[in-house]
Structure 1
Amino acid sequence: MTRRALYSLADLDTVTVHRLVRRSLELYEDPTAHDRPLAGLVAGLLFTKTSTRTRTAFTAGTVRLGGTAVAFGPADLQTNTGESMADTGRMFATMLDLLVVRTAGPVAEHRALAADGALAVVNAMSIEEHPTQGLADVATLVGHFGDLEGVRVLYVGEGNNTATALARALAHYPGCHLVLACPPGYGLPEYVRAGIAGLAAAGGGSITQVHDMGELPTDVHAVYTSRWQTTGSSKPDTHWRDVFRPFHVDTALMNRWPGAVFLHDLPAHRGEEVSGEVLDGKASLAWAQAGVKAAGAMAVLEWVAASVPASAVPDTTGAAPPGFPVPGPTIQKEEE
Structure 2
Amino acid sequence: MNHFFGSSFLKETDFSAAELNYLIDFAIHLKHLKQQNISHHYLAGRNIALLFEKPSTRTRSAFTVAACDLGAHPEFLGKDDIQLGSKESVADTAAVLGSMFDGIEFRGFKQQTVEQLAAKSGVPVWNGLTDTWHPTQMIADFMTLKEHFGRLQGLTLTYVGDGRNNVANSLLVTGALLGVNVHIAAPATLQPTAAVQALANQAAAKSGAQLLLSTDPAAAVKGADALYTDVWISMGEKVDVAKRIEQLLPYQINKQLLQQTGQESTIVMHCLPAFHDDQTLVGKKLAAQFKLSALEITDQVFSSSQSVVFAEAENRMHAIKAIMAATLGNLFIPTNFFE
Matches within 5 A, 1:1-336: 3-31=6-34, 35-79=40-84, 81-104=86-109, 106-116=110-120, 118-159=122-163, 160-174=165-179, 176-235=180-239, 239-256=243-260, 257=262, 258-270=264-276, 271-306=294-329
| Alpha-carbon separation, structure 2, partners of 1:113 and 1:207 | 33
Say whether the 8 Å CA contact 1:26–1:33 is kept in structure 2. Answer: no
Question: Structure 1 residues 9 and 81, CA, compared in 2 at 3 Å: closer, same or farther?
Answer: closer
Of Structure 1 and Structure 2, the greater helix share is in: 2
Q: Is the 8 A contact 2:301 2:307 kept in 1?
A: yes
Shift of 1:35: 3.6
TM-score of the aligned structures, taking structure 1 as reference length: 0.86
CA displacement at 1:198 relative to structure 2 = 2.7
CA distance in 1, matches of 2:39, 2:170: 26
Give me the whole-angstrom Cα distance separating, in 2, the residues matched to 1:216 and 1:113.
38
Deviations 1:73-106 (A, max 9, x none): 11112337521011000111110110000002x2
Deviations 1:161-206 (A, max 9, x none): 01111122212223x2110001221111221111121322322211
* SS class of match (1:93): helix
Report the residue type matching 1:27 in the other structure. L
Contact 1:44–1:69 (CA<8 Å) still a contact in 2?
A: yes
Amino acid at match of 1:30: L
Maintained 8 Å contact 2:42/2:330: no
Work out the percentage of aligned pairs sharing the same amino acid.
27
- Residue identity in the other structure for 2:17: T
Count of residue pairs the alignment pairs up: 305
Aligned-partner SS, 1:114: helix
Q: State the SS of the aligned residue for 1:79.
A: coil
Deviation for aligned residue 1:215: 3.1
Q: Distance in 2 between matches of 1:149 and 1:103?
A: 32
Residue 139 of structure 1: how far off its partner (Å):
0.6
Aligned in 2, Cα 1:238/1:83: closer, same or farther, shift over 3 Å?
farther
Cα offset for 1:28?
2.1
3-state SS of 1:87 partner: helix
Show structure 2 runs of 5+ residues with no match.
277-293, 332-339
TM-score, length of structure 2 as denominator length: 0.85
Task: After superposition, give the CA deviation of every residue in 1:43-93 in whole Å (9 maximum; x if it has no partner).
Answer: 000111110001100011000000001110111123375210110001111
CA distance, structure 2, for counterparts of residue 238 and residue 251 of structure 1: 23
Cα distance between partner residues in 2 of 1:21 and 1:120: 19
Change (3 A) 1:50 1:7: same
Alpha-carbon contact 2:138-2:174 (below 8 Å) kept:
yes
Structure 1 unpaired stretches of 5+: 309-336
Deviates more, 1:277-286 or 1:110-119: 110-119
Cα distance in 1 for partners of 2:115, 2:295 equals 34
Q: Structure 2: which amino acid aligns with 1:97?
A: D
Moved more, 27-36 or 180-189: 27-36
Q: Which amino acid aligns with 2:297?
A: V
* CA shift for structure 1 position 306: 3.3
Task: Look up the equivalent residue of 1:286 and give its one-letter code.
Answer: V
Relative to structure 1, is the Cα distance of residues 222 and 173 closer, same or farther in structure 2, using a 3 angstrom cutoff? same
- The RMSD of aligned alpha carbons is 1.9
Cα distance in structure 2, aligned partners of 1:246 and 1:7 = 33
Distance 1:177 1:33, change over 3 A: farther
Contact 1:3 1:307 in 2 (8 A): no
Once residues 214 and 253 of structure 1 are traced to their aligned partners in structure 2, the CA distance between those partners, rounded to angstroms, is 7
Given that 1:262 and 1:279 are in contact with CA atoms closer than 8 Å, whether structure 2 keeps it comes out as yes
- The CA distance in 1 between the partners of 2:169 and 2:86, in whole Å, is 33
Compared CA separation, residues 146 and 93, structure 1 to 2 (3 A): same
SS in structure 2 of the partner of residue 229 of structure 1: coil
Check conservation: 1:9, 1:131, Cα contact below 8 A. Answer: yes
Partner deviation per Cα, 1:278-326 (whole Å, 9 max, x = no partner): 1110000111001111100101110221379xxxxxxxxxxxxxxxxxx
